Amino acid sequence: MQSSKVERIRGLVELLNEASRTYYAEDREIMSNFEYDKLYDELSSLEQETGVIFSNSPTVKVGYEAVDELPKERHESPMLSLGKTKSREELQDWMQGKLAILSWKLDGLTIVLTYNAGKLAKAVTRGNGEIGEVITNNAMTFQNLPINISYQGELVLRGEAVISYSDFEKINREIPDAEEKYKNPRNLCSGSVRQLNNEITAKRNVQFFAFSLVKAEGVDFHNSKEEQFRFLQEQGFSVVEYKRVTEENIQDVLSEFERKIENYDIPSDGLVLTYDDIAYGEALGRTAKFPRHSIAFKWADELRETTLREIEWSASRTGLINPVAIFEPVELEGTTVSRASVHNISILRGLKLGIGDHITVYKANMIIPQIAENLTGSDTVEIPKVCPVCGQPTQIKQINEVQSLYCVNERCPAKSVKSFTLFVSRDAMNIDGLSEATLEKFIDQGFIKEYADLYHLDHHREEITLMEGFGEKSYQKLISSIDTSRSTTLPRLIYALGIANIGVANAKMLCRHFDYDLEQLKSADVETLSAIEGVGEVIATAFVEYMQDADNLAKLGRLLPELIIETPQFDADSQTLSGLVFVITGSLDHYGSRSELKEEIEKRGGKVTGSVTGKTTCLINNDSTSGSAKNKKAKELQVPVLTEDEFLQKYM
Q: What are the catalytic residues? A: 105
Query: Strand 119-125 to strand 109-116: parallel, antiparallel, or no bridges (unpaired)?
Result: antiparallel
Neighbours of 164 (CB within 10 A): 18
Residue 34, phi then psi, degrees to nearest 5 = -60, -45
- d(C-alpha 367, C-alpha 594), whole Å: 41
* CA pair distance 424, 493, nearest whole angstrom: 10
**Three-state DSSP class for 45?**
helix
Cβ-based neighbour number of residue 645 at 10 Å:
11
Buried/exposed code over 464-501 (b: 16+ C-beta within 10 A; e: otherwise): beeeeebeeeebeebbebbeebeebbbbbbbbbbbbee
Q: In angstroms, how far apart are the furthest CA atoms of the chain?
A: 82
Q: How far apart are CA 382 and CA 377, in angstroms?
A: 14
> Rounded to an integer, what distance in angstroms lies between the CA atom of residue 215 and that of residue 218?
10
| DSSP classification of residue 134 | B
Phi-psi region of 380 (alpha: psi -120 to 50; beta: other; left: phi over 0): alpha
Torsion angle, alpha carbons of 113, 128, 75, 216, to 10: 40
d(CA 582, CA 605) in angstroms, rounded, equals 11
Measure the CA–CA gap between 60 and 147, rounded to whole angstroms.
10
* Alpha carbon distance 162, 263 (integer Å): 16
406 bridge partner residues:
320, 395
Distance CA 7, CA 306 (A): 49
Pairing of strands 242-245, 100-106: antiparallel
Question: What count of residues does the chain have?
Answer: 652
CA 157 from chain center: how many Å?
24
Spell out the residues 6+ positions from residue 549 whose beta carbon is closer than 8 angstroms to its own.
none
Q: Do 285 and 253 meet the contact criterion of CB atoms below 8 Å apart?
A: no
Contact 131, 74 (CB under 8 A): yes
How many CA atoms lie less than 13 Å away from 254 in the CB half-sphere?
22
- The span from the CA of 222 to the CA of 276, in Å, is 10
Give every CB contact of residue 604 below 8 A, 6+ residues apart in sequence: 574, 575, 576, 577, 578, 652
Q: Rounded distance, CA 92 to CA 94, Å?
A: 5
Centroid of chain to Cα 296: 27
User: What Rg value do the Cα atoms of the chain yield, rounded?
Assistant: 29
Q: Residue 440 in contact with residue 469, Cβ under 8 Å? A: no
Measured CA distances, 607 to 454, 493, 601 (Å): 36, 22, 7
| Other Cβ atoms within 10 Å of 586 Cβ, number | 19
Alpha-carbon distance of 441 to 448, in angstroms, equals 10
